[in-house]
Amino acid sequence: MVSKQLFTAIVKTNKQTNMSIKSKIVYYLPFVFMLFLFCTKVVRAEDDDEDDILGELIIDILAGAAVAACQSNASCNAVLTITTFIFIIIALVSWCMDGCNCDCEAPTRRQWRRAGGMGIGYGLGRRYF
């Protein structure tokens, strides 16, 4: 009797969920992103010449895809929008308090590469999410 109840409990817990592929990706993508983020935090370059270009590109693509996945969910999109507005307001206030000084430096190749990687990740994420 006990073995039958145990078997029934195991079968009930091992049933497949009715989550679609899109739902599974949206569910697991933040965990994968955090894993890559923590793994790259451990390995740091000592100099700009020792940058891990491939690692940065992967993280940038995952960051863009994570933003796209977040925008496909209404509640996550609301939190993302509020957070973005808070950071924009803080940046504008600190910029105005600093005297609106402009560095007037052109973006470096690394900054262009990182922006492009995030853009590619966002585009791919919007296409698949």
Model pLDDT for residues 46-68, shown as the tens digit of each residue: 555 556 788 888 889 989 998 99
Domain extents in the chain:
19-74+108-128
Alpha-carbon span 96 to 94, nearest angstrom: 5
**Res 89: pLDDT:** 94
Q: Which two tokens stand for residue 48?
A: 């700009």
**Short-list 115, 15, 26, 34, CA closest to 77:** 26
* 0.75 surpassed by pTM: no
Q: How many helices (H) and strands (E) does the chain have?
A: 5, 0
Alpha-carbon span 80 to 84, nearest angstrom: 6
**Res 29: pLDDT:** 73
Alpha-carbon span 50 to 84, nearest angstrom: 31
**Res 6: pLDDT:** 45
Confidence of residue 82 (pLDDT cuts 50, 70, 90): very high
Indicate the average pLDDT of the chain. 76
Higher pLDDT, 1 or 20: 20
